[in-house]
Amino acid sequence: MSRTLNAIYDLKTIELPVAGMDCAECTRHVEHALAGVPGVASVQVLLASEKAIVQLDPAAVSLDQLRAAVAAAGYQAAPPPTATPALQPVHYTRKVWTVLALVFGAVLFVVVVGEWLGLSETITARIPFLVGAALVVISGWPIFANVIRAARKRQVISHTLMTIGVLAALAVGQWATAAVVVFFMRVGDYVEGFTAEGARKAVRTLTALAPQQARVVRNGVETEIPVTDVAPGEIVVVRPGEQIPVDGVVVDGRATVDQAAITGESLPVETGPGAHVFAATLIRLGSLRVQTTRTGVDTTFGRVIALVEAAEANRAEVQRFADKFSAYFLPVVLTLAALTLLIRRDPLAVTAVLVVACSCAIALATPIAVLAAIGRAAREGLLIKGGKYIETLARADVLLIDKTGTLTLGRPRIEEIMAFGGVATTEVLRLAAAAERYSEHPLAAAVRAHAAASGLTLVAPTHFEALPGQGVIAEVEGQRITVGSQRLVTTPAPPLNAEQMAGRSVIWVTRDNAVIGALLAADSLRPEAAAALAQVRALGIDTIEVLTGDNAATAARFAGQLGIPYRAGLLPEDKIAVVQAYQQQGKVVVMVGDGVNDAPALAQADVGVAMGAAGSDIALEAAHVTLMRDDWLLVPMLLQLARRTMGVVKMNLWFTAIYNLAGLSLAALGLLPPILAAAAQSIPDLLILGNSARLLGRARD
């Protein structure tokens, strides 16, 4: 009988902070180092979060062993938070090396210009070769050290080929060429680190918002404690200007709460007893007493951070191709260099071939662009679970939409009031709202809201009785009032035509058993939905359908307003069947739902998008993308960002391929001198990094 690894070992998952990672290659280097430690089951290294998520057998491996493995790879496993200042000298040292390389590089630009003007030999002849070689080694030592460590582990990294080019240049006495290579390697690392740092800000900004302290009521006394010590069920007191430290339910008080940290919505919301509130949201006015339901990483805010951190672990297929290409590129270049030596017998041409090869550019083409896109999306309230979903979204050609709570607001409102027997419509509304005063039914809330919007003053009923599935019976101002379905009507009701009934719920109102009116209620289309779907169509997605479990009349009413087809009366399994039918036709399906009853269809779709996922466990788990606020304009923004990202990736890959082909050809033919090859070899890296960094600046074209 086979057993899973979890059954054999009592596996534990830990997070290990790692300092010093500046590039996508760094994450792979750390991943290989940690994966080689006996007792480690799996490793994910996250560049944006600067940490490794390690699943291990605690009986077989210690934290010190993991830190030693990271150190052997050339990086630093950060100690516990109390010792964080010890990391500062490491970052200071890196800055010193970078400044040294940049200053040295300024001189080397003069050398390159000298080559173009035919003065290179005159300039370099004034500096002894040993001095020049020493400067090359000193400026490039951090890179060379990483290459040496990788070689000891039989690993090839992006700087391996460039280091071979440096050695080749030194071997033929071209120290200036070697220096130019080192300079551009350092500049490339610096720019890549800068781009990665821009993507990291999304995670750091989110993490910085997490509250650290909470004021809890224990034994009748308010006490401030670390938020990690708050237990579910405890009462937390939050005052004006303070962050709510936990997820919970308001038990007392009223307040205006800024929920931008969770939903991205700039307008605050009014909150009172019974309302759900989220950690990291801010009280602007008022105060609350909140009963804790979730704390720390289990809160909505904690799960949001975890999603953003882990997103880069799901690599796109195009990124996997780039990784494989980089691994095979080195032997191809070495073979071409050997053929150049055999055919041309020219060491300088061989050196130029080795120097101009740019394996780093292919490796950078996808991960930096994806990382930048995920960071930008997070700032817009779009949580994308990985690069592979960005790639899939860019190819989407079918959009399926749930109705209730997704396309519509999910709450009914009164659209029309009909009065009979000479009674005024305002009187029908006033009596109905008074009778519904204590009802918790959504339709009752719609009646009260409409009365309040109409400025009516309501009296309290002297008698109230709720009949499940029927409505309410109440005594208002000495009159027997019923509000509800036709089952409560004991006398003949006036007929309503099909046009009046289409897609609406009828709330009958009687007074002393006589029908005096009817309230017609319906859900409301989200106001931005039409504009958002027009933008989706403009992106070339013509197949758009509404899938709903509601009746055909209601579905037709809303789908007709948007001019899109619908399928009504569907069960969850029916929605899955629709998704599968499109997928069998070779279509890439995006499903947008509310993340609760649509969870199966969201999971089946190529990309499931959950709207308004704040506080919803199912939404955050089932969907591949979560929208943290109910805003349909985020959907075309998501599709635009995905297409833009993949456009950047493809541009990066094509440019790198063409550039490498041209550079290698010119070098092999002896038309590209080594020093110019050195200057040319890092141009793709810088252009790719700059091109990818554009994604950080905007989410739509």
* Residues identified as active-site: 402
Rg (CA), the chain: 33
Rounded-to-integer distance, Cα 16 and Cα 80, Å: 9
Residues 351/172, Cβ–Cβ less than 8 Å: yes
Residues 258/281, Cβ–Cβ less than 8 Å: yes
Give all strands (DSSP E) within 183-234, no chain letters. 213-218, 221-226
Residues in Cβ contact with 47 at an 8 Å cutoff, skipping those fewer than 6 apart:
21, 23, 24, 26, 27, 196, 199, 200, 312, 367, 371
- In degrees rounded to 5, what are phi and psi of residue 205? -65, -45
DSSP state of 701: -
423-431 long-range contacts, Cβ below 8 Å, gap at least 24?
Answer: 423/511, 423/516, 423/517, 425/517, 426/454, 426/456, 427/516, 428/509, 428/516, 428/517, 428/519, 429/454, 429/456, 429/519, 430/456, 430/458, 431/476, 431/479, 431/481, 431/509, 431/511, 431/516
Sign of the CA dihedral running 5, 10, 15, 16: negative
String of DSSP letters for 381-432:
TEEE--HHHHHHHHT--EEEEEIIIIIEEEEEEEEEEEE-TT--HHHHHHHH
Residues 563/545, Cβ–Cβ less than 8 Å: no
Structural tokens at position 291: 């009963």
Q: Among candidates 404, 408, 432, which has minimal Cα distance to 419?
A: 432
Residues 404/550, Cβ–Cβ less than 8 Å: yes
548: three-class secondary structure by DSSP: coil
Rounded-to-integer distance, Cα 313 and Cα 54, Å: 13
- End-to-end alpha carbon distance in the chain: 56
DSSP state of 227: G
- In degrees rounded to 5, what are phi and psi of residue 79? -75, 180
- Give the residue carrying structure tokens 């882990």: 310
DSSP state of 240: T
Q: Among candidates 509, 570, 510, 514, which has minimal Cα distance to 545?
A: 570
Rounded-to-integer distance, Cα 195 and Cα 652, Å: 15
248 forms beta bridges with 277, 292
The CA-based angle 203-205-206, given to 5 degrees, is 65
Structural tokens at position 247: 């997820």
Rounded-to-integer distance, Cα 269 and Cα 701, Å: 31
Q: Among candidates 195, 179, 191, which has minimal Cα distance to 101?
A: 179
